Amino acid sequence: MERQPARQAGKPLFEKPLEGHYPGATAMGAEEAAALSAVAMARSPFRYYGLDLQHQTRSFEDHFARYLNVRYTLGVTSCTAALFVALKALQLGYGDKVAVPAFTFLATAGAVVSAGAVPVFIDIDDSMGIDPLDLDRKLAADNEIRAVIIVPLLGYPCDMAALLAVAAKHGVRVIEDVAQSCGASYAGRKLGTFGDIGVFSFQMNKLITAGDGGAVVTSDPALFIRAVRYHDQGIFREQERYGLQSPDEADAFAGLNFRMSEFTGAAMGAQLVKLPDILRRMRIVHDLVRGELQARAPQLRLRKLYDEEGCAGCYVALVLPTPDIAQEFIRALAADNITSYLLYGGMPLFRRDIFRLRRTAEKDDFPYNYPFRNPIEDPEQSCPCAIDLCPRTVFIPISPDFTREDGELLVTGILSFF
């Protein structure tokens, strides 16, 4: 490949390292400050009552429901809490198995274990999302798997049509963990609205943020009532707001507290307004980089994208020939001040000691001690694609602040390696 002018001067392509990848936080400013101040000035930081309640969390939930086109949304304290609430809304716990992707963040499988169920790792496909064929095979072999958690990693939708068909065929529940892909879609429909329940994260690393926070969304009133109750000590307040009736005497059960505060709701209300623009700006650069790479270097292997229109645009990812070449590639990009990395250290989740050695906070090996009828396959044998792809797939973050010129420089930096 021809040397680029920017390199000949012996200087990196980008003068300084690109900003950290915090799209929502980068966009934070006067709007969040005003909303937070309104809560403080009203001295009403609790969502259900106060001296002069501003209903910031309620407004955020209503706006989020319209944005996603889903019937019910519930703000909670994190996506981990949201996963926990979703599992309990679906009555999943001790004695149940839940299918999770072999490659995802700790929380997806951690919440399953904390909820008392056992995760079954499913292999990934070229999109780095859960593989419908392996899901089909494992569901057919094990009727103790009651649900699947679909995780669209870093803005790319999974093979949703195939996954939903497999889940329906085997009659398992579907949770979508959309922590990393808020606002992304598949076939024109927002991720998080396909399954029984969708969960979102508003932690600092995610596309919009209040530092921490999360949401549970569903269009099923019975699941929603259970979610609200579980997140609020078994109570269901504001029944009239939703036009739902659920007498405590018949429906209440023991729960926990994962309520979203008014401060979080206020910040999230302001962030949600900014989400379309954040996505639009990332998408311009993402599409430019991906398109240029496809046009100018068709031999390069890019991460598979199941919906060209639906990705969030927050990362481009390349599959390198070997893990060693992936490391070389990362070093070469770093010399040009381009950030890139292997996600989760390039390690499938089942290789982490927490899951490999089945470490829990509980006594007697709970929940793994349940006398299941069907053995769980060893993921080291049953997830070859995750073992192959994770250590050689390099992710490059795209900030909403990147310009087209930054996108062109990214392409130059990537191509000059090959």
Ligand X SMILES: *Cc1c(COP(=O)(O)O)cnc(C)c1O
Q: What is the dihedral of CA 269, 270, 272, 274, to 10 degrees?
A: 170
| 261 counts as binding ligand X under rule CB under 6 A | no
| Nearest residue (CB) to ligand X, 175 versus 293 | 175
**179 makes contact with ligand X (CB under 6 A):** yes
64, 84, 103, 105: which one binds ligand X (CB under 6 A): 105
**78 lies in the site for ligand X, by CB under 6 A:** yes
Stretch that binds ligand X, among 77-85, 135-143, 159-167, 188-196 (CB under 6 A): 77-85
Q: Are 236 and 228 in contact (CB under 8 A)?
A: yes
Q: How far is the CB of 339 from ligand X (least distance, A)?
A: 18
Measured distance CA(358)–CA(370) in Å, rounded: 13
Q: Residue 185 Cβ, how far from ligand X at the closest point, in Å?
A: 17
Should residue 182 be labelled a site residue for ligand X when binding is judged by CB under 6 A?
A: no
Please say which residue, 125 or 336, places its beta carbon nearer to ligand X: 125
Q: Give the shortest CB-176-to-ligand X separation in angstroms.
A: 10
Residue 327 identity: Q
Task: Give me the sign of the Cα torsion angle 214, 219, 223, 225.
Answer: positive
Closer by beta carbon to ligand X, 158 or else 167: 158
Q: State which of residues 109, 118, 122, 151 lies at the interface with ligand X (CB under 6 A).
A: 151
Residue 108 contacts ligand X per CB under 6 A = yes
Which residues on adjacent β-strands are paired with residue 232? 257
Taking each helix axis as running N to C, give the angle between helix 56-68 and helix 30-41, from 0 to 180 degrees, rounded to the nearest 10: 140
Q: What's the closest the beta carbon of residue 391 comes to ligand X, in angstroms? A: 19
Does the protein bind ligand X through residue 264 (CB under 6 A)? no
Residue 108: CB minimum distance to ligand X, A? 5
**What CA–CA distance (Å, rounded) separates 240 from 48?**
13
Give the whole-angstrom CA distance, residue 324 versus residue 400.
30
Of 252, 262, 202, nearest in space to 81 by CA = 202
Whether the bond into 323 is cis, omega within 30 of 0: no
Instruction: Report the residue from 119, 195, 214, 265 that binds ligand X according to the rule CB under 6 A.
Output: 214
Cβ nearer to ligand X, comparing 288 with 305 = 305
- Min dist CB 87 to ligand X, Å, is 13
Which stretches of the chain bind ligand X, using CB under 6 A?
A: 78-80, 104-105, 107-108, 151, 177, 179-180, 201, 203, 214
